[in-house]
């Protein structure tokens, strides 16, 4: 039976590559984005459906999942990929509360809304897989964009905290932490600098193949670092056991 796949932020970059990848595999793909022209074009390439979605609106997330089920009769895999950068810093010249709020709304609240909309439906349709796009900034640091890094740490906390409960219901939740990827989130001058400094730059199609591999695995609650030319590498988080003392 054909998989039903939903991808947010799928008009370009990693999301578009994931949509195309699953389309080539014969899945029924639902492309979600606020970019109507780009999203519709990717949906056509993937042989699927475009649903305009502002992930910062809870009602849009609910409508997206409802549209996927109405069109294709089920739900098997959801990739919550929509994200933006440039939350600014904390100096006098780069502090912008409105810009910070926008990054938080897309990267963190949007993921929360997506999880709330998708998880019960995945469970109700026999289980499945959900992958959230974090970043290497979510397990390291990003001095150039600390607000972005904070949101990417946040989604990993969500994934790890939700995974055990939903795994019991048949839904596997994982995160990906891409390194440098040739996507619109990186301006041309940044790409030139990265390449000039000798850092590896992955193509979106390579990340998409890793996403499909993770989605098909039985793992849950993991965060995988994805870098050019390398297999997905799970992050080794410290084991934190509660300490009990007898009194």
Could you tell me if residue 185 is inside a domain?
yes
Number of domains comprising the chain:
1
- CATH number for the domain spanning 160: value is 3.40.50.720
pLDDT at 65 over 60: yes
Does residue 113 lie in a domain region?
A: yes
Q: How confident is the model at residue 164 (pLDDT cuts 50, 70, 90)?
A: very high
- Full domain range(s) for residue 45: 4-232
| 148 annotated active-site | yes
Task: Exactly one of 148, 153, 193, 224 is catalytic; name it.
Answer: 148
Q: Give pLDDT tens digits for 67-114.
A: 999 999 999 999 999 999 988 899 988 999 999 999 999 999 999 999
State the Cα–Cα distance between residues 221 and 131, nearest whole angstrom.
10
**239 lies in some domain:** no
- For residue 188, how many other CB atoms are within 10 A of its CB? 7
Q: What pTM value is reported for the model?
A: 0.94
| Residue 242 domain flag | no
Is 247 contained in some domain?
Answer: no
CB 82 within 8 A of CB 110: yes
Closest CA to 142 of 97, 87, 197: 87
């Amino acid at each position: 039976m054909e998989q039903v796949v939903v991808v947010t932020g799928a008009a370009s970059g990693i999301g578009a590559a994931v949509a195309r990848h699953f389309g080539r595999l014969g899945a029924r793909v639902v492309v979600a984005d606020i970019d109507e022209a780009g999203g519709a074009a990717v949906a056509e390439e993937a042989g699927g459906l475009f649903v305009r979605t502002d992930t910062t609106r809870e009602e849009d997330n609910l409508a997206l999942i409802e549209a996927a089920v109405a069109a294709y009769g089920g739900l098997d895999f959801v990739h919550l990929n929509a994200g933006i950068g440039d939350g600014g810093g904390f100096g006098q010249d780069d502090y912008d509360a409105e810009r910070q709020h926008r990054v938080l709304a897309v990267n963190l609240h949007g993921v929360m809304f997506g999880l709330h909309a998708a998880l019960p439906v995945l469970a109700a349709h026999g289980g499945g897989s959900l992958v959230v796009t974090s970043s290497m900034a979510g397990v390291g640091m990003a001095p150039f964009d600390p607000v972005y890094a904070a949101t990417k740490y946040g989604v990993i906390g969500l994934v790890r905290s939700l995974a055990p409960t939903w795994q019991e219901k048949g839904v596997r939740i994982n995160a990906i932490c891409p390194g440098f990827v040739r996507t619109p989130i990186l301006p041309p001058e940044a790409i030139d600098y990265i390449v000039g400094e000798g850092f590896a730059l992955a193509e979106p199609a390579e990340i998409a193949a890793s996403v499909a591999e993770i989605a098909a695995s039985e793992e849950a609650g993991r965060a995988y670092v994805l870098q050019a030319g390398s297999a997905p590498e799970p992050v080794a988080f410290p084991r934190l056991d509660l300490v009990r003392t007898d009194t």
